[in-house]
Structure 1
């Protein structure tokens, strides 16, 4: 029997070295870190970078509630295995890492209306590091901004005090809210009998003095309806010209089913002659439940 020919030297060398093991082909592990990032106050400031990696879930924790419907993640449907938004959290797990020099944008809107209104990040990759936990904080507002806000509030308070003056009838005289013309009142005669938005108008009055006017309406929220509260009001002159509304107030926080309340609508300084008829409409904060349109004399 013929003996097999010897293997070539290069083949013998390859066999002696062996094939790469699973450990040799596995990606290098990333060191997982916890960080705090500060949201810039100005759009001109650089956006914080957050390091992500495939196989690692990154948790963002915010110091205020965020708007779940207004979270923007670049490549959300193609580059991520998981994107989960909570009241104060954002959880990301990439399926494809950002390439060298690539940045994926993330933009989150806060719900409280404070400044800055948005938090923005740039997702990047790093050969050895990944951000596992990210605490997101808004930078305290600069002292000069707080001082300006305080000055504005003090000015509003001073104006309010001067407007209110002493309580009672004497305060109305001292503040000029009532002059020698006194106050004229006109009942809303044509009260709508129809029901709209589960609301019924019970009655109302129009008040007019020299420097101010007021439309007052008593409302009943019918049984079986959800709670209601006024949000905005529209006041229109007979020729269709809108009149600016300064305030909309009610004697209760909201009306429960079957409850009645009084809504007062104050327009701007009454530059028109007394006795004119206006169309009044009161809406809730959502703008979906409104009173039947009233005609009020101011």
Structure 2
């Protein structure tokens, strides 16, 4: 059936107006790529880009394990349909294309601490390309850089060894002609909150004092480790504690370990009985030693 001329003209006009509008609603067709990017070795180099598009998943794969808790994705969650983080992977899918000049930063820290310790990329939208997968790698370090890093580590190790030995004590002034006085410590005989002091020793020098006690965590108790140490003179005057350390990370039930408490330079008499308290980080288990002579 042939349409009347006015009706035919109206139909053609409607079709011509509708076709461009429909075409504009279609998302652009982008070529999907897989590629590798190198992280810059110094801050003057440009940050690598990853090309993303609306409703397309892009996978950023890293050459070493990453700290999941450190992952930062700018614009999340407003600009992304979903973001997923794995041991070596970050997957992102934007809900909309980014603007022509828009760049969203992705930042993550590596677990191994090697240089660079942090990986930074920017997400952009390209008119004709989108990255399906981006392999993020660190630039191999040169032989010169590796040798310099090794020399630095060896120097640090040598310094630590010197400080920890007798010569280091003399160099630092922590050991002089006054020497070190040592004595056995009186310890309480009973158990306190599932802990028992087996024995103790006291050391006194001109610039420091050290209380060393062997602690046993009794069977059936929760693991224990000292989180804080307090020392006080008989009149209640506090003694500054420089450090508290234990020979083990924590004491399992039935296990023993040495706890060393270092103080400031002694300003009290050696005959004074100080009060030492050790407690875990939660403060729930406390060990008190009332007769500590340093």
Q: Same fold (TM over 0.5)?
A: yes
Give the aligned partner of residue 229 of structure 2: 234
Whole-Å Cα distance in 1 between the matches of residues 221 and 266 of structure 2? 36
Residue 195 of structure 2 aligns with which residue? 200
CA contact (8 A) 1:179 1:210 kept: no
| Distance change (3 Å), C-alpha of 1:266 and 1:135 | farther
- Between the aligned partners of 1:79 and 1:145, the Cα distance in structure 2 is 41
Aligned-residue Cα RMSD (Å) equals 4.1
**Mapped pair 1:210 → 2:199:** no
Which runs of 5 or more structure 1 residues have no equivalent in the other structure?
A: 166-175
Partner of 2:185: 187
Q: Deviations over 1:160-183 (max 9, x none)?
A: 344499xxxxxxxxxx97978664
Give the match's secondary structure for 2:70: strand
Cα drift, residue 233 of structure 1: 4.5
Shift of 1:74: 1.7
Map 1:11-30 → 2, pairs under 5 A: 19=19, 25-30=26-31
Partner of 2:102: 102
Deviations 1:190-213 (A, max 9, x none): 567531xxx413344231243664
Conservation of the 8 A alpha-carbon contact between 1:218 and 1:261 = yes
CA distance in 2, matches of 1:31, 1:183: 75
What's the CA shift for 1:53? Answer: 1.5
Contact 1:235 1:281 (C-alpha < 8 Å) held by counterparts? yes
Match of 2:38 in 1: 37
Shift of 1:77: 1.7
Cα shift readout 1:26-85 (whole Å, capped 9, x = no counterpart): 52123222223315554x654332221223222223344433333222221211111112
Counterpart CA distance in 1 for 2:224 and 2:52 is 47
Q: Give the count of matched residue pairs.
A: 277
Q: 1:96 to 1:191 in 2, by over 3 A?
A: farther
Q: Give the whole-Å Cα distance in 1 for the aligned partners of 2:240 and 2:113.
A: 29
Tell me the TM-score normalized by structure 2: 0.72
2:287 counterpart residue number: 292
Equivalent residue number for residue 77 of structure 2: 77
Kept in 1: contact 2:188–2:197 (CA 8 A): no
Unaligned runs of 5+ in 2: none
Q: Contact 1:192 / 1:292 at 8 angstroms: preserved in 2?
A: no
Of the three residues 241, 246, 252, the one matched with 1:249 is 246
Decide whether the 8 Å contact of 1:178 with 1:209 is kept in 2: no
**Correspondence list, 1:109-124, <5 A:** 109-112=109-112, 116-124=116-124
